[in-house]
Amino acid sequence: MAERHRREEVPQASSALDDKGRALELLLPGVLAEFEPEIVSTVNLVAATVKPHDISAVCRVAKEDPKLSFDYLMCLCVVDYVEHLQVVYHLYSTTLNHMMVLKANVSPDEPSLPSVTPLWVGADWYERESHDLFGVSFEGHPNMAPLLLYEGFEGYPGRRDFEMPEYREW
């Protein structure tokens, strides 16, 4: 019965960028040229994948370049793709009112990449949360203490392979 619903091909979501997104799509390869980014467009945003050790430098360019001026870190999260962990930064510019996505792939064993707290103080709790739930460590973060979980919690509950404890009646 389960086979009945399985489809051969998974359809891809179509991308519909707005004017600002299209402008960024043209602009980004030039501005970030030295980091050799891989630029794709998701459903509504432009996403650039860079090497993890470059992330701090790329973020600095994204924040300080007058054509980008991403002064607002909207969201930082980790997605577990099993073969690698993807750290995703959603950046927003309060002056130019545009948004982009930065991504970096790290290996699931001892994942680590530079912290962006020197650029945006608001990355503080996001990075601690990512460390809690996915075990990604951010070099240069002032305080990597557990945020959402308690001290001494074992394992990384955000990851796909985390085994949920069985429910039992007390």
Contact set with other proteins (CB under 8 A): 7, 10-15, 42-45, 71-75, 77, 79-80, 88, 90, 94, 97, 99, 101, 120-122, 124-125, 133, 146-150, 157-158, 162
Q: Which of 49, 55, 52 is nearest to 37 (CA)?
A: 49
Q: How many CB atoms lie within 10 A of CB 40?
A: 13
- The distance of closest approach from Cβ of residue 10 to other proteins in the complex, given in angstroms and rounded to an integer, is 3
As measured in angstroms, the least distance from the Cβ of 8 to other proteins is 11
Structure tokens, 34: 């030295």
Report the residue number, 67 or 153, with the smaller CB distance to other proteins. Answer: 153
- Return the number of the residue (34 or 40) whose C-beta is nearest other proteins: 40
Phi, psi of 73 (to 5 degrees): -85, 110
Q: Given the complex with other proteins, which of 26 and 40 has the nearer CB atom?
A: 40
Cβ-contact 132, 149 below 8 angstroms? yes
Given the complex with other proteins, which of 30 and 160 has the nearer CB atom? Answer: 160
Residue 62 in tokens:
């994204």
Give backbone dihedrals phi and psi of 26, rounded to 5 degrees, phi first.
-80, -35
Q: Least distance to other proteins from the beta carbon of 155, Å?
A: 12
